[in-house]
Amino acid sequence: MGGVWAPGRPLAALLLTASVLSASLLAPGAPPEPDADAAQPRDVDKKSHVELKMDQALLLIQNELPKTNLTVYWTSERCHRCLPQVLASVYRSGKPGKLSTAAVAVSTQHKSLLQLNDTLGRKELCRLEYKFGEFGNYSLLVTHDHNDASEIVCDLLVNKNPIDSDLPVSIAFLVGLMLIIVICLIKFLLSLDDFNNWISKAMHSRETDRLINSELGAPSRAGPLGGPDTQSETASPSAVPRYRCVDTFRGIALVLMIFVNYGGGKYWYFKHASWNGLTVADLVFPWFVFIMGTSIFLSMNSVLRRGYSKLKLFGKIVWRSLLLIYIGIVIVNPNYCVGPLSWEKIRIPGVLQRLGVTYFVVAVLELIFAKPAPDSNCDLDERSIMLRYFMSDWPQWMIVLMLENIWLGVTLLLPVPGCPAGYLGPGGIGDWGKYPNCTGGAAGYIDRLILGDDHLYQHPSPAALYHTEVPYDPEGILGTINSIMMAYLGVQAGKILLYFKDKTKEILLRFSAWWFALGLISAILTKFSENDGFMPINKNLWSISYVTTLSAFAFFIMLILYPVVDVKGLWTGAPFLYPGMNSILVYVGHEVFANYFPFQWKLEDSQSHREHLTQNIVATAIWVLIAYALYKKKIFLKI
């Protein structure tokens, strides 16, 4: 038995990280009834009766064995330990030289694993692994070896080359890069005195100043950092500077979140991972949580130094948390997508709900235990600064680590009916189909027990690939503990900025130390493996390794942004700064108006990545422009 096939043309790789990202996969539809008189490959487009959709290719399975019925099984390389699914049944040809053919649509997002069995004898005839291309046309010919009639050969042939579905992303990336280069060139020219003098003669000086300071995002004359809500360090001895790197990072996460929420061009790497692993879509929410923790410390430090009443501050924390939860449940609830909101079917968990609970816990911990950072460290030696830094939050760490131990204990030890203890899998057809109703293990069981099936997310990311049938919520109760941990790691970034203020080298060293330490923990937990580590990276579970990995990325981004944006002033943070300073308004707005023009319109070809990508980029850019307009008008929504 053997398998020989002609390699098709692989899709062009765009993103450097795309090869390690996992994602949702469209399961193939039910195969048509086999037809012994099906057309030859050159006529398949007209007579196969298979309508191809985005991320699919046409596969003709041709059986030339006169006495053997075939059953073809399919699974995706991204489906870990999955029970193979029947793709098609192909009748025997009946006569030598005659073909019995079945036409099916196969997924092109990842490699497909095909297994061909003798239907009657259950004998495996051949096994193939192949990466099909979008809208390609392929033939899988099963026949006897011409040299040895007892041997069966499976040949995979390319009838029609696939399209390069990643080309629109490549073009969009190059266009964006060109815009950046042009803007940087213009800013450089405007910094030259001779060019500036020439511009001044051609334009009114006031209009030139507006162009330089506003349109190109350079700091205005209002202050060293510019923009509203900026506190000058010289204005008051207790004033805390507004770090643009924090707003910029928040804006980066928010813009990516808007883009992937709007569809990300329908590309698999802009969708959430089906279970273990990471995609671009899995990065943004934890980064938002991280920056929320940083902002909590910076703002709390500012109000405590001004002598604000802790009781009044606690009232504001409670109000803000409840308002976030209310907005999440009532205003941006995803069940609106399937009809009028019903209290019997309302989804209780959600992004803003988790943000509200996480904010409450972390803010209350800081309110109870935190002490304001010193005004200046200039008069303190290195040992005194380090002592203050390490002794400033040991009670908070004790509570956060206690919560983490609760997460570990419940996740690994809680008895779940019908499931093994410590189960972390997706259920469905995963783990060879042994635990179909165990999706998420303890996390899923707790949500279904406390909240009920009808109040959870009904279309979780593992449903398409793992064929799960039970509801599962990625923003469930148990995972909130790890989001608290994520936010508190963000608090550490804020502490570093304030405790080592004006000591750039010390700040960068500590960002680097956190980055290295968290990355090392992730490597140990995952064993450098997507599925075989002690604790795989999993966004649906918000596993510990997911938190440490994304926090390591966050510290690395801060390591880059802080010197570039706040120290050297090489970049003002535009355009990400603007949505970063109006994050609640932009997030809620993009959810509420997602289905309205100009954020969405009817596409000429709904199966085109290019059209979806164009629509999603335009919609995201519009929200950035809205945030910029609000920034210029000094309109900021705060809760």
- pLDDT per position as a tens digit, 146-187: 777 778 899 999 999 999 999 999 999 999 999 988 988 888
**Which residue has tokens 């200046």?**
376
The pLDDT of 274-288, averaged and rounded, is 95
* Cβ-Cβ contacts under 8 Å for 369 (sequence gap 6 or more): 393, 395, 396
- pLDDT per position as a tens digit, 504-554: 999 999 999 999 999 999 999 999 999 999 999 999 999 999 999 999 999
Q: What is the identity of the amino acid at 140?
A: L
Instruction: State residue 437 phi and psi, 5-degree precision.
Output: -105, 20
The single residue of 272, 455, 467, 609 carrying the catalytic annotation is: 272
Q: What is the pLDDT of residue 343?
A: 82
* Range name among 119-128, 320-329, 380-389 with the lowest pLDDT average: 380-389
Q: What is the identity of the amino acid at 392?
A: S
Is residue 113 within 8 Å of residue 37, measured between CB atoms? no
pLDDT higher than threshold 90 for residue 419:
yes
Tell me how far the alpha carbon of residue 580 is from its chain's centroid. 18
- Among residues 543, 537, 362, 548, the alpha carbon closest in space to that of 443 is found at 543
The pLDDT of 254-261, averaged and rounded, is 95
Q: Cα separation of 389 and 304, whole Å?
A: 17
Tokens matching residue 9: 């043309």
Local confidence band at 414 (pLDDT 50, 70, 90 cut-offs): very high
- pLDDT per position as a tens digit, 625-634: 999 999 999 9
The pLDDT of 312-341, averaged and rounded, is 84
- Among residues 263, 275, 293, the alpha carbon closest in space to that of 358 is found at 293
- pLDDT per position as a tens digit, 356-396: 999 999 999 999 987 777 665 555 566 666 667 677 788 99
Rounded (10°) CA dihedral 408, 412, 417, 420: 160
Q: What is the pLDDT of residue 203?
A: 60
* Cβ-Cβ contacts under 8 Å for 187 (sequence gap 6 or more): 216, 218
Local confidence band at 48 (pLDDT 50, 70, 90 cut-offs): low
User: Which domains does the chain show, CATH number per domain?
Assistant: 2-165 (2.60.40), 169-218 (no CATH), 219-632 (no CATH)
Q: What is the pLDDT of residue 413?
A: 95
Helix (H/G/I), strand (E/B), else coil: 140: strand
Helix (H/G/I), strand (E/B), else coil: 516: helix
Q: What is the pTM of this model?
A: 0.83
Q: What percent of the chain has pLDDT over 70?
A: 81
Query: Between the ranges 34-48, 95-109, 267-281, 295-309, where is the mean pLDDT highest?
Result: 267-281
- pLDDT per position as a tens digit, 202-221: 665 454 444 444 444 434 33
* Range name among 52-56, 233-237, 338-342 with the lowest pLDDT average: 233-237
Per the model's pLDDT, the better-predicted residue between 320 and 305 turns out to be 320
Query: In 9-99, at which residue ranges do the beta strands (DSSP E only) sit?
Result: 56-63, 70-76, 85-90
* Range name among 282-286, 387-391, 565-569, 620-624 with the lowest pLDDT average: 387-391
The 10 Å Cβ neighbour count of residue 137 is 23
DSSP bridge partners of 115: 73, 127
Tell me how far the alpha carbon of residue 6 is from its chain's centroid. 35
Tell me how far the alpha carbon of residue 142 is from its chain's centroid. 41
Per the model's pLDDT, the better-predicted residue between 135 and 8 turns out to be 135
- Tell me if residue 609 is catalytic: no
Is residue 84 within 8 Å of residue 134, measured between CB atoms? no
* Cβ-Cβ contacts under 8 Å for 459 (sequence gap 6 or more): none
